[in-house]
Amino acid sequence: MDEDLLLLIISSPSGAGKTTLTRDLLERHPALAFSVSHTTRKPRDGEVSGRDYHFVDRATFDSLVERKAFAEWAEVHGNRYGTALSEIERCRDEGKRGIVFDIDYQGAAQIKAARSDAVGVFVLPPSMGELKERLQRRASDDADTIERRFKNAKREIEHYGEFDYVIVNDDLEQAKARLNAIVLAEQSRRERMAGRAKDLLQASRDD
C-alpha cells in the first residue's frame, strides 16, 4: 500500500459520537474515503447497505473469515464486524489521499500491527451519564442493546492508551475542529509530503 496514504482509525465506546464526527470529517475532506465494514448486525432505520455497512449474515461473514478476506475483524457487542481487504483496495483505487476506519479497539490493534504508521484517534464522552443519555437519545437500539453497549464502554475506554490522539466529544463543534486539526497535521507529516518535495526537486533538475 502507498506509504503516503493516511490510514485514520476512529474508535470510541458506542454513543460517544464517532459516527457524527466521522461524517463531518468526510464532508470536509473529499480526498478521504470511508472504509465500509461488513457486519452481521441488523441495519438500523436509515442505514443503507453498501454506504454505512455491508450487511451480511453470519454464514457469509464466517466464509469471508475462512477465505482470509478481512484485513481485520472482531466480535463487538455480540455481532461480528470486519474490514474487507477489497474495501481497502477500492479506497486506494479511487485515488484518495486517505482512508477512514470506524472500527473498535480490537480492529485498531490489528490494523496498527500491519501498518505501524496508521493513526489512531479515540473519542471519549464528557461523562458516563452523558454517554448513557446519548445512547438513549439516538433511539436506534432496544433497551437491552443500549444496556449491553453501556456496560462494554468501561472495557473499551481502558484501551485509550493504544491510540495516538484522544478527543473529548463534549461541545460538538470543538470536537469536529480537533479531529479536523489532527487530519491536517497528519497530512502535513514529512513522510506523507516526501512525494511532493521530490517532484519539485525533479522538476527543478529538468529546467
Q: Are 159 and 105 in contact (CB under 8 A)?
A: yes
The window from 30-38, 82-90, 108-116, 167-175 that contacts ligand ADP (CB under 6 A) reads 167-175
Q: Are 119 and 162 in contact (CB under 8 A)?
A: no
Nearest distance from C-beta of residue 67 to ligand ADP, angstroms: 29
Residue 120 binding ligand ADP, by CB under 6 A:
no
Residue 18 binding ligand ADP, by CB under 6 A:
yes
Residues 20-49 vs ligand 5GP: string with x where CB under 6 A? -----------------x---x--------
What is the four-CA torsion angle of 139, 145, 150, 153, rounded to 10 degrees? -110
Nearest distance from C-beta of residue 10 to ligand 5GP, angstroms: 8
**Residue 88 contacts which entry, ligand ADP, ligand 5GP, none (Cβ below 5-8 A, type-dependent):** none
Give the nearer residue to ligand 5GP in terms of CB position, either 5 or 105.
105
Give the nearer residue to ligand 5GP in terms of CB position, either 72 or 186.
72
Residue 120 binding ligand 5GP, by CB under 6 A:
no
Give the nearer residue to ligand ADP in terms of CB position, either 32 or 64.
32
Cell output for 14: 458506542
In 3D space, the residue among 118, 112, 154 whose CA is nearest the CA of residue 14 turns out to be 154
Alpha-carbon gap, residue 140 to 145, rounded angstroms: 10
- Positions 51 through 90 that interact with ligand 5GP (CB under 6 A): 72-74, 76-77, 81-83
Q: In what order do the strands lie in the sheet with 165-168?
A: 32-34, 98-102, 6-11, 119-124, 165-168
Q: What is the DSSP letter of 130?
A: H
In 3D space, the residue among 110, 86, 132, 115 whose CA is nearest the CA of residue 7 turns out to be 115
